[in-house]
């Protein structure tokens, strides 16, 4: 059995050693340069104000054109200087309906995109390309906006802007600095080349299996390292082990960092779980519709079109349904011009009505530094309301206090995932993650140790491969 384990560890190490080294090095880069993204405020900056005086079509009429039963969200923006309803479908697609005449929108032209950029930023455009996928827009969250216009700006930052040909919105921005560091950070860390990542199912399977075999490799290495160390102690031949040269260093580093390596590889594998073992945080369409208090079309039909025209100088109006009542939120890039502030008790009562088969145990406003939602990899908006249910999974619903939307669903399984993934992978533990630079120093030391242990394994693997090839 020991020989079999040694054989498996050696040859899995030959195949995966570079992945180990890459993960530890790129992890250090990602601590300081995350994958590019834009804020909601930046997105709104590139939207024009809505000409609401031309709004003649009701939201209910637009919903019918979109296919009311399949719409989960609705909002109003300006496209081609015309007020436009944008419907989000259950299948993730977006459909635009002009709010002045009820006609579906056509794909947006290049000239409109250039005009939107020029209205905000005066830097000249050196190139404009229409693209389906590239390295920075390969995630499935961009699918509903494709194809995209990529504008390469002639500015000091080397900025690239990405606009949707469906809605005209800015969806991504990158700079030369971000692109350089992400090519040695997030892209290798997530095994994220465009040709692989654009096929989500294939990418998901490839990374999941590579990570699983990496766990096996690391666990075997820890077991074998401890076994050799114990035998050395028993036989009084060595304080560490019977090895020399690179193998000795690999053994020593493995003894000191083995558990750290296993915990990071294991937690990294969990990032690819996607519902295989643990639950997912996204609400289901059924849960969303239950909290609407009726179909979206029925609730939104209560909105008076004339009332929408009263919002002046706004760039986006989102239409929501909550417990049978419509909610209208008007936004500009500076602030939210109009929105209710839902009281926690009222939200809890609405949840109780929406899910009559379970009772509500308690409710509260989620506080800053909350253990489960204020994380290094993202936090819920201020004012989010948590409603705890009495179902067997002890489910928590996190609900936006403005719109009444379910932001995340967190059951027992998801709370365990928080510790096994966020805790182990980012050392996101209370009392540590917020104490910088202590957290930074600890992360860098441990990542560096894991990198050195991996590099020694790579050297051994290369030597083994070359020796076999020479034969």
Total length of the chain: 471
Q: Could you tell me the pLDDT band of residue 337, with boundaries at 50, 70 and 90? A: low
Residue 2 has pLDDT above 90, yes or no: no
Stretch 351-368: mean pLDDT:
94
Contact 356, 410 (CB under 8 A): no
Lowest mean pLDDT of 7-11, 36-40, 63-67, 450-454, name the range: 7-11
Band (236; pLDDT cuts 50, 70, 90): low
> Does residue 191 register a pLDDT over 90?
yes
pTM of the model: 0.91
Q: Which comes out higher in pLDDT, residue 7 or 409?
A: 409
Q: What would the mean pLDDT of 456-462 be, rounded to a whole number?
A: 80
Each residue's pLDDT tens digit, 78-100: 999 999 999 999 888 999 999 99
**Position 349 confidence tier, pLDDT thresholds 50, 70, 90:** very high
Residue 277 has pLDDT above 90, yes or no: yes
Dist CA 190 CA 208 (whole Å): 11
**pLDDT at residue 104 greater than cutoff 80:** yes
Closest-CA residue to 213 (of 25, 9, 417): 9
- DSSP codes joined into one string, 249-291: HHHHHHHHHHHHHHHHHHHHHHTT-TTSSS--SSPPHHHHHHH
Cα distances from 441 to residues 264, 275, 434, 444, in angstroms, run 17, 33, 13, 5
Kindly state the percentage of the chain with pLDDT values over 90.
73
Question: Residue 276: is its pLDDT beyond 90?
Answer: yes
pLDDT of 414 above 60: yes
- Lookup: tokens for 414: 């998801």
CA-only gyration radius of the chain, Å: 27
In this predicted structure, the answer to whether residue 228 has a pLDDT above a threshold of 90 is no
Look at residue 462 in the predicted model and tell me its pLDDT. Answer: 75
Q: How many CB atoms lie within 10 A of CB 249?
A: 18
What is the rounded average pLDDT of the residues 309-333?
A: 91
Instruction: Please check the confidence at residue 469 and state whether its pLDDT lies above 80.
Output: no
The average confidence (pLDDT) of the chain is 91
In this prediction, what percent of the chain has a pLDDT beyond 70? 96
The answer to whether 359 and 389 are in contact (CB under 8 A) is: yes
Residue 238 has pLDDT above 70, yes or no: no
Average pLDDT over residues 388-396: 95
* Tens digits of residue pLDDT in 138-188: 999 999 999 999 999 999 999 999 999 999 999 999 999 999 999 999 999
Q: For residue 310, what pLDDT is reported?
A: 86
33: pLDDT strictly greater than 60:
yes
Q: Is the pLDDT of residue 334 over 80?
A: no
Distance CA 343, CA 454 (A): 53
In this structure, are residues 74 and 67 in contact, taking their beta carbons and an 8 Å threshold? no
């Amino acid at each position: 059995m020991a020989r079999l384990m040694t054989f498996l560890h050696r040859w899995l190490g030959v195949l995966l050693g570079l992945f180990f080294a890459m993960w530890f090095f790129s992890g250090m880069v990602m601590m300081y340069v995350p994958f590019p993204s834009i804020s909601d405020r930046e997105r709104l900056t590139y939207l024009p104000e809505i000409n609401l005086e031309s709004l003649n079509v009701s939201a209910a009429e637009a919903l019918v054109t979109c296919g009311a039963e399949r719409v989960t969200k609705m909002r109003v923006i300006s496209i081609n200087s015309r007020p436009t309803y944008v419907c989000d479908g259950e299948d993730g697609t977006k459909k635009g309906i002009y709010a002045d005449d009820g006609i579906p929108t056509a794909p947006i032209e290049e000239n409109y995109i250039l005009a939107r950029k020029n209205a905000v930023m005066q830097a000249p455009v050196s190139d404009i390309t229409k693209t389906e996928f590239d390295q920075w827009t390969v995630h499935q969250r961009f699918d509903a906006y494709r194809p995209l216009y990529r504008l390469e700006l002639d500015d000091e930052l080397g900025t690239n802007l990405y606009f949707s040909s469906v809605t005209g919105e800015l969806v991504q921005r990158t700079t030369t600095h971000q692109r350089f560091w992400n090519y040695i950070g997030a892209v290798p860390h997530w095994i994220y080349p465009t040709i692989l990542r654009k096929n989500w199912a294939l990418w998901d399977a490839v990374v999941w299996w590579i990570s699983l075999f990496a766990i096996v490799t690391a666990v075997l290495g820890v077991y074998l390292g401890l076994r050799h160390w114990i035998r050395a102690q028993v036989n009084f031949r060595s304080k560490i082990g019977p090895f020399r040269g690179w193998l000795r260093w690999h053994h020593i580093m493995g003894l000191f960092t083995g558990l750290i390596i296993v915990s990071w590889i294991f937690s990294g594998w969990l990032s690819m779980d996607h519902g295989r073992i643990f639950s997912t945080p996204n609400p289901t369409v059924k849960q969303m519709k239950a909290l609407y208090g009726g179909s979206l079309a029925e609730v939104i039909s209560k909105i008076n079109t004339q009332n929408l025209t009263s919002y002046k100088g706004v760039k986006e109006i989102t239409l929501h349904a909550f417990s049978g009542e419509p909610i209208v939120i008007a936004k500009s890039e500076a602030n939210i011009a109009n929105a209710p502030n839902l009281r926690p008790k009222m939200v809890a009562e609405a949840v109780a009505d929406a899910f009559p088969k379970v009772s509500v145990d308690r409710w509260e406003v989620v506080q800053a530094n909350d253990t489960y939602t204020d994380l290094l990899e993202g936090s819920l908006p201020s004012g989010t309301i948590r409603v705890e249910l009495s179902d067997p999974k002890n489910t928590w619903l996190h609900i936006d206090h403005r719109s009444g939307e379910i932001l995340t669903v967190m059951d027992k399984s998801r709370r365990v995932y928080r510790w096994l993934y966020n805790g182990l992978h980012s050392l996101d533990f209370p009392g540590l993650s917020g104490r910088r630079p202590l957290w930074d120093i600890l992360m860098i030391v441990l990542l560096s140790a894991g990198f050195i242990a991996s590099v020694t394994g790579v050297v051994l693997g290369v030597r083994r491969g070359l020796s076999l090839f020479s034969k």
